Structure 1
Amino acid sequence: MPAPILKEHNVTLESQIPANFGETVTLPVREYDGTKPNHPHQPVLMLHGRSVPALAGFDLAPVPGGSATRYSWAQELADDGYDVFIMDLQGSGRSPRPRMDDPCNANPAQQRVLVPNPLQQPCPPPPPYASQLGNSESEWAELDAVVRHIRGLPDRNKPIRFIGWSLGAAIMGPYTLQHPELVESLLLLAPVFPPRGRWSGKPDEPFGRPAEAQTLPLSKPALTWGFPMFVGTRTGFGTGLDGNPALREPDIVDYAWEACMDSDPTGSKWGPEVEPGRAEGILRYRNTYWWGWNEQTVPHRDPGGAYILGRRVPVLIIYGELDRAANSPATFPDATRFSVPALYSAVKGPHKLMFCLAGAGHSLVWELTAKTVHHMSKQWFKNGMVEGLTEGSYFRDGDGELTALT
């Protein structure tokens, strides 16, 4: 079979985030078209989470030893005949990062990591742009622009298979609830889900702005409220990975870090100098205000009364046994208390399936479990089932044995 065709797309839209509201921006989208001869296109769209750029998460290749694409979920799917698209929202990866080139706009509590490069000392408060960067409305709009672009390509005017990792679930999930006709199925990897997270509080308008957001700078020049950018170091990146270290190949964290830096020419020049003329780099990522993804909105029904998630749109959830990013302590505040099993429970339609992988953490894309995730996704997209199952929740041990979870 011929190798997938690599293409790079530029998706333009009018920005809806306050930092560059109304400006025409371009979102780079990578495509691996693995469509087999005489077969229809089967589009898949992959969306990153909070901090890791899309290409580092979904297209980490080549990695020396074994199959060079074993950590490229995108290329593995394309090799199986799918037409795979990878996108970054504004504030991540290769997409625009408005207000993020000014280091003084970093989280004030994190600015020490920017001393002495690029800052000589932390900046006095408030940040020059004292607002969060984006919001649910702006990110739904960017996702929608990419969806419409894909559907405008020849032979792609059909529902798309979605893959959302981590906080990508909080963007793709509500978007699917609002546009179920555009989504073939939903695969959520280590999904972030706050059961009592923010929403409008109105059953007839569940995805409208929540009451506390009415005064936030969501559509016009910013008011004083927060900051647009988080920053992190190479050391923090490595120590922050949960899961069993035995499930990670030697040096895989280094490859992942370098891929993050490759997506950010500015951030890669910040941080301590590791050798003359080369900085270690700083991970820069957006600070966004999300809503519309909780136990009140997930059971949303279509006008005909059918549940959207699990009925009109099948849902597959995969997460790691040791994932502490997507499963936080019950003592956390409602907006940041996350639970993957609670998401499974909130999906009321019958076509829902969940797997907990033994020993895995939040970054399954870079663990030895990546092969299992790829295998499950191929089964799901091809047959609407995994290991012959279409519903239920299961624990998968290291030998691949499944045990039903109650």
Structure 2
Amino acid sequence: MPAPTLIEHQVTLQSQIPANLNDPVTLPVREYDGTKPNQARKPVLMLHGRSSPALAVFDLAPVPGGSATRYSWAQELADDGYDVFLMDLQGSGRSPRPRMDDPCNANPAQQQALVPNPLQAPCPPPPPYPNQLGNSESEWAELDAVVKFIMRLPGRKKPIRFIGYSLGAAIMGPYALQHPDNVESLLLLAPIFPPKGRWSDKPDDPFGRPSEAQTLPLSKPALTWGFPMFVGTKTGFGTGLDGNPALREPGIVDVVWKACMDNDPLGSKWGPEVAPGQYEGILRYRNTYWWGWNNQTVPHENPAGIRVLGERVPVLIIYGEQDRTANSPATFPDPIRFSVPALYAAVKGPQKLMFCLAGGGHSLMWELTARTVHHMSKQWFKNGKVEGLTSGSYFRDPDGELIPLP
């Protein structure tokens, strides 16, 4: 069987991020074209979450021992005949990071991690750019630019299968609600969903900017929130992983961290020096203001009265039993209380399916459970079913048995 064709694309658009508003920017998009001879192209678009870049999340390969692609969801799908695209939003991975090269623009509460490299001491407040980097509108615009780029490629005019990881669900989900004709199906892995999250108070525009949104002078659509960038250390990254440690191979944290650093030429030179001229690196990721993904918007209908999610666009949800990121304690305040089961309940259409994987954490794609995720996604995209099921919610125990959830 021939290997999938690897193509590196460049998608250019006018930025809608206030920090570089209307500037031309280029988003790198990786493609693995696994289309077989005499077979129609079946495009899949994969979107990362808040902190980890797309290539580390979806294309972690090769890892020594076992199948070289066992942690590359993208290549596994391409091997099965799909035409797979991976994108990074601005502020993540290989895409532009406006205002993020200045370490003083990092979250003030995290700046100690940048001492003594690149800072000698935390910066006095306020940050040079005292605003969040982007917002839902800017990220929907970037997703839309990539979707339209894919659909303009020869033979790829059909709707696209979406895969959104973690906070990627809060971007792809509202986009599918607004542009259902562009989306064939929606697969959400460990999705972030705030049941009472922010949303527009405009009855005629449920996805419009909330009225409490603050703006910069000159009517630039920025939202004041103090800083554009979060930062994290390798130690914090490793200790922050949840789920059963037995489901993680020895050394996998090192492999993932290296993949993250390979996607950030500047951040990889910050942090402690571990050898002459070599640094541990700092994970840099965007701080963005999101809205439009909650109990009010998910049941949205199209003008014909058809439920978008679960009817016009079938939905598959997969999450880990021990995921403490996508499932917040009930004591957390709105809008930062998250619940995966609440998302399943909010999807009112009949074509919805959810699986909770035993022992899994938030980072299922870096666990041994990755094989199960890959298998389920192939079934879903091929047949609209997983293990013969088209709807319902199930717990998958360590032996692979499915137990209906209440």
Q: State the alpha-carbon separation in 2 of the partners of residues 344 and 225 from structure 1.
A: 30
- Contact 1:130–1:223, Cα closer than 8 Å, also in 2: no
One-letter identity of the residue aligned with 1:353: L
CA shift in 2, pair 1:112/1:350, >3 Å? same
Q: 1:305 — aligned with what? A: 305
**Number of paired residues?**
406
Matched, 1:359 2:359: yes
Q: 1:9 — aligned with what? A: 9
Q: 2:273 — aligned with what? A: 273
CA shift in 2, pair 1:120/1:77, >3 Å? same
User: What secondary structure sits across from 1:380 in the alignment?
Assistant: helix
Measured after TM superposition, the shift of residue 363 of structure 1 is 0.1
Q: 2:100 — aligned with what? A: 100
For each residue in 1:285-322, what CA deviation from the matched residue of structure 2 results, as whole angstroms up to 9, or x when unmatched?
00000000000000000000010000000000000000
Q: State the alpha-carbon separation in 1 of the partners of residues 223 and 342 from structure 2.
A: 35
Measured after TM superposition, the shift of residue 201 of structure 1 is 2.2
Q: 1:68 — aligned with what? A: 68
- Contact 2:223–2:289, Cα closer than 8 Å, also in 1: no
- Contact 1:16–1:219, Cα closer than 8 Å, also in 2: no
Q: State the alpha-carbon separation in 1 of the partners of residues 206 and 288 from structure 2.
A: 19
Matched, 1:397 2:361: no
- Contact 2:133–2:287, Cα closer than 8 Å, also in 1: yes
Q: 1:156 — aligned with what? A: 156
User: Please, which moves more after superposition, 328-337 or 101-110?
Assistant: 328-337
Q: State the alpha-carbon separation in 2 of the partners of residues 319 and 402 from structure 1.
A: 14
Sequence identity percentage: 83
One-letter identity of the residue aligned with 1:252: I
Q: 1:80 — aligned with what? A: 80
CA shift in 2, pair 1:223/1:2, >3 Å? closer
- Contact 1:47–1:164, Cα closer than 8 Å, also in 2: yes
- Contact 2:10–2:29, Cα closer than 8 Å, also in 1: yes
For each residue in 1:101-125, what CA deviation from the matched residue of structure 2 results, as whole angstroms up to 9, or x when unmatched?
0000000000000000000000000
Matched, 1:138 2:118: no
Q: State the alpha-carbon separation in 2 of the partners of residues 219 and 311 from structure 1.
A: 38
Measured after TM superposition, the shift of residue 219 of structure 1 is 6.0
Measured after TM superposition, the shift of residue 277 of structure 1 is 1.0
Measured after TM superposition, the shift of residue 204 of structure 1 is 2.4
User: What secondary structure sits across from 2:335 in the alignment?
Assistant: helix
One-letter identity of the residue aligned with 1:18: P
User: What secondary structure sits across from 1:356 in the alignment?
Assistant: strand
User: What secondary structure sits across from 1:387 in the alignment?
Assistant: coil
Measured after TM superposition, the shift of residue 216 of structure 1 is 5.9
Measured after TM superposition, the shift of residue 202 of structure 1 is 2.9
Q: State the alpha-carbon separation in 2 of the partners of residues 218 and 16 from structure 1.
A: 14
Q: State the alpha-carbon separation in 2 of the partners of residues 174 and 319 from structure 1.
A: 19
User: What secondary structure sits across from 1:335 in the alignment?
Assistant: coil
Give the gaps of 5 or more residues in structure 2.
none
User: What secondary structure sits across from 2:10 in the alignment?
Assistant: strand
Q: 1:36 — aligned with what? A: 36
Q: State the alpha-carbon separation in 2 of the partners of residues 261 and 199 from structure 1.
A: 34
Q: 1:195 — aligned with what? A: 195
How much is the aligned-residue C-alpha RMSD, in angstroms?
A: 1.2
Matched, 1:115 2:86: no
For each residue in 1:240-288, what CA deviation from the matched residue of structure 2 results, as whole angstroms up to 9, or x when unmatched?
0000000001101110000000000000000001111111000000000
Q: State the alpha-carbon separation in 2 of the partners of residues 133 and 217 from structure 1.
A: 15
User: What secondary structure sits across from 2:212 in the alignment?
Assistant: helix
For each residue in 1:104-161, what CA deviation from the matched residue of structure 2 results, as whole angstroms up to 9, or x when unmatched?
0000000000000000000000000000000000000000000000000000011000
Matched, 1:230 2:208: no
Q: 1:380 — aligned with what? A: 380
Q: 2:51 — aligned with what? A: 51
Measured after TM superposition, the shift of residue 90 of structure 1 is 0.0
User: What secondary structure sits across from 2:6 in the alignment?
Assistant: strand
Map 1:308-387 → 2, pairs under 5 A? 308-387=308-387
Measured after TM superposition, the shift of residue 203 of structure 1 is 3.4
User: Please, which moves more after superposition, 21-30 or 330-339?
Assistant: 330-339
- Contact 2:70–2:76, Cα closer than 8 Å, also in 1: yes
- Contact 2:358–2:397, Cα closer than 8 Å, also in 1: yes
- Contact 2:132–2:223, Cα closer than 8 Å, also in 1: no
Q: State the alpha-carbon separation in 1 of the partners of residues 49 and 349 from structure 2.
A: 25
One-letter identity of the residue aligned with 1:191: P
One-letter identity of the residue aligned with 1:363: S
Q: State the alpha-carbon separation in 2 of the partners of residues 217 and 188 from structure 1.
A: 37
Q: 1:283 — aligned with what? A: 283
Q: State the alpha-carbon separation in 1 of the partners of residues 203 and 299 from structure 2.
A: 11
Q: 1:167 — aligned with what? A: 167
TM-score by length of 2: 0.99
One-letter identity of the residue aligned with 2:72: S
Q: 1:23 — aligned with what? A: 23
Q: State the alpha-carbon separation in 2 of the partners of residues 278 and 13 from structure 1.
A: 35
Q: State the alpha-carbon separation in 2 of the partners of residues 262 and 63 from structure 1.
A: 15
